[in-house]
Chains A and B, each alone.
Chain A
Amino acid sequence: MPEPTAAAVRPAPTGVIHDIGYQRYQGPRLGRRQVFGALYLHGLRTAFGFGRSAKAKIFPWLVVGIVSLVAVALAAVRSQIGEPVATYAQFADAMSWLVIFFVAVVAPELVSRDLRSGVLPLYFSRPLPRADYALAKLLALVTALWLLLGGPQLLMFLGAAFTTKQGMRGVWNELLDLLPGLLYAGLWAVVFASVGLLVASLTGKRAFAAGGVVAVFLMTTPIVGVLSILPSRAANELAGLASPSTLVQGVGIWSLGDLLVEGDPGEMMIGGFGPVYALAAVLLVAGATALLLARYRKVAS
């Protein structure tokens, strides 16, 4: 027997799931610094393939693996023979080819992908200024490169610190060797990131971008070769300015001296032009960054 009156007077059930519909957001909205930080961290994760497909992790981690393996091998050999095989700075120099390879893989991943997919209008229609986008990506690549070189240097340091026979004093000396090495790695990172990212930001095609990065870094070495056999001492000593790799090495020879070349003159002579190399490096980084910012003032507007 249905009792419609009873159903009508029964209080509304309390356990019902309501469609609450659209909710306005009342929470905090972060400022420019935090958004910059979020984009920077996102870039850094992208550089190593985190949050990306397995395919995107192969190349970065291949390079990281090789560089770490070399560092571990150096540390192991050193602990056996008791003599450093290579200084921290020399290690960074020796890894330059892998750094170039890493930049050629990661820089297009950071900027060319966004150009290609047309996602930039979605960034630039948000409060984030265009310059912040470019600088966050640049800073992410600098950090990635520095970690790529600095991480293995730290491995070498740990290896040396744990096998040293001079106690705390040995560890302290080793640390004093490590710090210039880390700074030198930072120089590599800044120069290669600014130039590499600028080249990659010119095209949305990742293969072209990677090719362009390799071309800029490697095609300039023959120029150095030609200049360094010219019958002019000044031309020979300034030859290193023609290529980013030799430019960085020149600054290293000038500032680190025997930490990089160990007494013997090495294959590269910079004579008294050390400050010129340092100035050229600063100008190169500043110029590449300015061009990168100019590029992002125009793109996708």
Chain B
Amino acid sequence: MTLIATQSLTKTYGGRVTALADLTVAVEPGIIGLVGANGAGKSTLIKILLGLIAPTSGQVSVLGIDPTADPAAVRARVGYMPEHDCLPPDLSAAELVTHLGRMSGLPRTAARERASEALRHVGLYEERYRPVGGYSTGMKQRVKLAQALVHDPDLLLLDEPTNGLDPAGRDAMLALVHRIGTEFGISVLVCSHLLGEVERICDTLIAIDGGKLLRADHISAMTSATDVLAVEVSEGTEELAARLAELKLPVARDGRLLLVPLADDRTYDLILGAVAELDLPLHRLDQRRHRVAELFATRELSHA
């Protein structure tokens, strides 16, 4: 079954600002990472998936339901964690999550039980009876996640769940999201502007930039690409890049580094030969662990 499918999805605001342009993706259940810079259209996509805003054109379906036609049916099966602060400071986490559970249609006692279960799963125990206003950012993010989980959705839409967290908090939140996706049997769409974060936990990655799809694929398909050699010379970076290009090596710039895909051992020889020929001071030449970021970095450079 397809979890989320969009067909030529386009959203423009007032005919001028394009938030999404001709976006076509189809993803299977699992943990999906949605990455893109700020303003790439991630939040817009999530709001369209929830049926909160209507697309300008194109089709969309979530869990097989069209959110533009039947938003209530989609929302009943989806949990949403917004990016921004959304917790009333004077309510306790238990009260808030119980109330929101009731708003999702849970009967009174079921709402109370599931609220404490959800809060326990996100790691809030005795604190849940204290007003949210006194919580740390990490605890608030957990409450936001618990309220998305309280009505047992089939899909969670998490908008920047690691926002404002310290490195330890980020790791804990990512581990929690990973657990929800694997052990709880709930599909998760995680939005982030940090590729390095989501690539650790997700099965599928959707990268968008300026409302356009950069790439959508299984993470394994993306990282199986060849490894990359990083070359740094103290001077003459331009000349070396030109020389390597002559040798038919696809070179990409990353600041002072030159990135060359590693085809086989001959690549080393070619680079060393070129450096020696130009008589440049070689600073370093090393093989990098290939991260998905570079796939996008080279793509962006190629159309820049």
Contact = CB atoms under 8 A, between A and B. Distances in A.
Interface of A: 21-25, 27-32, 34-35, 38-39, 42, 51-53, 56, 113-114, 117-129, 301
Of B89, B100, B106, B151, most buried by chain A (CB within 10 Å of CB) is B106
A88 to B, nearest CB: 36
B52 A301 contact: yes
Contacts, number: 97
What class of interface size applies to chain B in its complex with A? 35 or more
8 contacts: A22-B185, A25-B151, A38-B103, A114-B88, A125-B50, A126-B104, A128-B103, A129-B72
B8 to A, nearest CB: 23
Interface in B89-117: 89-90, 95, 99-100, 102-108, 110, 114, 117
Contact of A31 (B105, B121, B151): B105
A122 B110 contact: no
B93 to A, nearest CB: 13
Contacts of A31: 105
B53 to A, nearest CB: 6
B91 to A, nearest CB: 8
Contacts of B80: 121-122, 125
B88 A113 contact: yes
B53 A301 contact: yes
A117 to B, nearest CB: 4
Contacts of B105: 29-31, 34-35, 127
B129 interface: no
B145 to A, nearest CB: 12
A38 to B, nearest CB: 5
A82 B118 CA distance: 62
A269 B113 CA distance: 59
Contact of A22 (B76, B107, B110, B183): B183
B147 interface: yes
Contact of B114 (A25, A42, A120, A126): A25
B211 to A, nearest CB: 18
Contacts of B269: none
A117 B85 CA distance: 7
